[in-house]
Amino acid sequence: MIENRPWLTAFRHLMLIFGIAVIGFPIWIALVAATHPSSAFFSGVMPLWFGEQGLNNFERVWNNDDRVLGVTVSASWMMWNSFIMAMVIAIGKITISLLSAYAIVYFRFPFRRTCFWMIFLTLMLPVEVRILPTYEVVARLGMLNSYAGLTIPLIASATATFLFRQFFLSIPSSLVEAARIDGAGPFKFFKDILLPLSVNNIAALFVILFIYGWNQYLWPLLITTDEDYYTIVMVIKRLMTAGEGNVPWNIIMTTTVLAMLPPVIVVILMQKFFVKGLIEQEK
Amino acid sequence: MHDTVVFKNKILPYFLLAPQLIITLVFFIWPAGQALYQSFLIEDAFGFSREFVWFENFVYLFQDPEYWNSMKVTFLFSAMVAVTAMGVALLLAAMADRVLKGAGTYKTLLIWPYAVAPVVAAVLWWLMFNPSIGILPYWMKFVGHYWNHYVNAGEAMTVVVIASAWKQISYNFIFFLAGMQAIPKSLIEAAAIDGASPFKRFWQIVFPLLSPTAFFLLVVNVVYAFFETFGVIHATTLGGPDNATRTLVYKVYEDGFVGLDLGSSAAQSVILMILVIALTVIQFRYVERKVQY
């Protein structure tokens, strides 16, 4: 500490607590809303303290009792879809980026630069700017309403490739030389040296990419019409617009809490990796 | 670069690169090319007839006041999201920087919104601001304001800005805090010995040293507001009222998927691509060099 100013320290704590309270307030509201019957939202002002319907709401949403979600599949099924999507995207992106970075850093071959620039190009073509043609490609390949369609088109990753490339370049070349003198071929070197060294980076990327995959919205919205492939994030919006009269806020908020839980847990549990990963990724 | 130490294999690298390159070609480059091609065509919705029209789609777009309105909305929206998210994050980071007790807890409690999907954030704030039962309009009534984002354009914009900025605060906070903690303590101490107040130290030392971080974050936030907030709009305002919150990405979706105006949607995609390319170039040309000192 540079100097001791108790009033300033107290002020800092107060501001932080205030900031956290304001930022956390919507979550409080969501948790509270998830514990009330839908009649609590018909008129007057929404409740600010917990009701007694929490478990009941959760069960109805989880099992989709009485088609409370307005679709034929349950929230548990849609969470499973989201989970598959998040895992395949995260693991897929990490795998193909590790392989491409390995090829670019440790091999010399014709068109190496071209390959690098092609990967770089994906950074400039987010799905949002080429919505319709990408949809057409996926449709023509017969990948609408499938897990492959939900995941494969999102798996290319320039940022992950760059991160691994940066990391590989920082590994001292004496290590590579030593491995080669010991007779390690390209596969052995990758498996026994690069992979173990990359564990921290992989974990950090996993957090970011799991969240990215779980939170996808536009893409599943475009390519799924079959409710069996709906994700939990998608269904919330449908609930908002489905009931013309009284919006079922208790059901919406129960679903919202379910949709937020997995990625928030991942961030909190893997906070160290996540923060490090974010900052490294942008270097 | 590792110019001396490499494996000799000439075929293997292509196999290693194949998955990434195939996905890139099929799902990125090919559709982008298609968008470019379609932007020069006028096609009816069922694909029965198509005509090559050069830049007609673009000319039409630039003569359309709705498109300019969408452009204006997007820039305004992005600016407000960036300023809000960065302002709050900077304030909180400045507070957290010198805190010793409970620093870890504060950090955890501030970074979790990063994990919330934009569309989910939007639904949360939509309930908070709900004109009939929401808590915020209820409070506003006590000061005589009757909130209604269904009819009031400015209020609709406020909700989507707050929802979009809210989840982005975490990201900015992490970077500002990391930036502040990278500033050598000796600099701050020297200023303190010279009698500079904490307030003055922040504005004259910390803040200028953070400017590369701030510039980088500005680009990131603008990209986020431009391209990742589709869900926010789609779940709440649907671009309304009266197109007051219809951003460019939302318009591409609306014209392409709902209106089935393929040529116009493709032309809009091409313009968006140019914008992303510009932003990416800015990020790589100017940010990378300035961040290191």
Is residue B58 one of the residues assigned to a domain? Answer: no
Residues 250 through 269 of chain A touching chain B, CB cutoff 8 Å: 252-253, 256, 259-260, 263-264, 266-268
Is residue B245 one of the residues assigned to a domain? Answer: yes
User: Nearest CA to B27 among A113, A155, A96?
Assistant: A155
Taking CB atoms and an 8 Å limit, are A282 and B19 in contact across chains? no
**Residues A5-23, mean pLDDT to the nearest whole number:** 91
* Residue-wise pLDDT tens digits, A56-106: 899 998 998 888 888 889 999 999 999 999 999 999 999 999 999 999 999
Rounded CA separation B279/B75 (Å): 13
- Confidence at A19, pLDDT banded by 50, 70, 90: very high
How many other β-carbons are positioned within 10 Å of the β-carbon of residue B11? 9
* CATH assignment of the domain containing B80: 1.10.3720.10
Residue holding tokens 């879809």?
Answer: A81
How many other β-carbons are positioned within 10 Å of the β-carbon of residue B72? 10
Q: Which residues contact B3 (CB under 8 A, 6 or more apart)?
A: none
Q: What is the pLDDT of residue B2?
A: 47
Q: If you measure CA to CA, which chain B residue comes closest to A111?
A: B14
Nearest Cβ partner of A186 from B12, B111, B134? B12
Chains A and B form CB pairs within 8 A to the count of 301
Q: What is the pLDDT of residue B140?
A: 93
Is residue B259 one of the residues assigned to a domain? Answer: yes
Average pLDDT, chain A: 89
Q: What is the pLDDT of residue B114?
A: 92
Q: Which residues of B touch A156 (CB under 8 A)?
A: 20, 23-24, 27-28
B120 to A35, A76, A140, B42: CA distances (angstroms): 18, 17, 31, 37
User: Nearest CA to B211 among B96, B94, B284, B291?
Assistant: B291
Q: What is the pLDDT of residue A5?
A: 80
Taking CB atoms and an 8 Å limit, are A13 and B130 in contact across chains? no
Total tally of structural domains belonging to chain B: 1
Range of the domain at B227: 65-291
* Residue-wise pLDDT tens digits, A229-258: 999 999 998 888 765 567 888 999 999 999
Hey, is the C-beta of A24 within 8 angstroms of any chain B C-beta?
Answer: yes
B41-43 and B50-52 strand pairing: antiparallel
Residues 186 through 225 of chain A touching chain B, CB cutoff 8 Å: 186, 189, 211, 214-215, 217-218, 221-222
Report, as ranges of residue numbers, the positions in chain B whose pLDDT lies below 50.
1-2, 289-293
Residue of A13, A99, A118, A128 to mutate, testing the B interface (most B Cβ within 10 Å of its Cβ)? A128
Half-sphere exposure of A42 (CA within 13 A, CB side): 5
Q: What is the pLDDT of residue B1?
A: 46
On whether the CB atoms of residues A191 and A131 are closer than 8 A, the answer is: no
Q: Which residues contact A207 (CB under 8 A, 6 or more apart)?
A: A266, A267, A270, A273, A274, A277
Give the ipTM of the model, two decimals please. Answer: 0.90
Taking CB atoms and an 8 Å limit, are B29 and A132 in contact across chains? no
Is residue B239 one of the residues assigned to a domain? Answer: yes
Q: What is the pLDDT of residue A68?
A: 83
Q: Which residues of A touch B269 (CB under 8 A)?
A: 129-133
List domains and CATH numbers for chain A: 76-231+257-281 (1.10.3720.10)
Rounded CA separation B74/B225 (Å): 8
Residue holding tokens 């690069």?
Answer: A194
Rounded CA separation A178/B177 (Å): 40
Q: What is the pLDDT of residue A159?
A: 87
On whether the CB atoms of residues A82 and A232 are closer than 8 A, the answer is: yes
Taking CB atoms and an 8 Å limit, are A173 and B4 in contact across chains? yes
Is residue B18 one of the residues assigned to a domain? Answer: no
Q: Specify which of A41-50, A203-212, B254-263 reaches the highest per-range mean pLDDT.
A: A203-212
Residue of B3, B37, B123 to mutate, testing the A interface (most A Cβ within 10 Å of its Cβ)? B123
Q: Which residues of A touch B32 (CB under 8 A)?
A: 125, 130, 133
Hey, is the C-beta of A150 within 8 angstroms of any chain B C-beta?
Answer: no
Under DSSP, the state recorded for B43 is E
Taking CB atoms and an 8 Å limit, are A119 and B20 in contact across chains? yes
Is residue B286 one of the residues assigned to a domain? Answer: yes
**Residues A271-279, mean pLDDT to the nearest whole number:** 82
For residue B62, give how far its alpha carbon lies from the nearest alpha carbon of chain A (Å).
18
Is residue B2 one of the residues assigned to a domain? Answer: no
Is residue B171 one of the residues assigned to a domain? Answer: yes
B32 to A220, B145, B275: CA distances (angstroms): 19, 47, 14
How many other β-carbons are positioned within 10 Å of the β-carbon of residue A182? 9
User: Nearest CA to B213 among B290, B107, B114, B111?
Assistant: B290
In sequence order, the β-bridge partners of residue B52 are B41
Is omega for the bond preceding B241 within 30 degrees of 0, making it cis? Answer: yes
Q: What is the pLDDT of residue B47?
A: 65
Cα angle, residue A198 at apex, residues A193 and A203 outer, rounded to 5°? 145
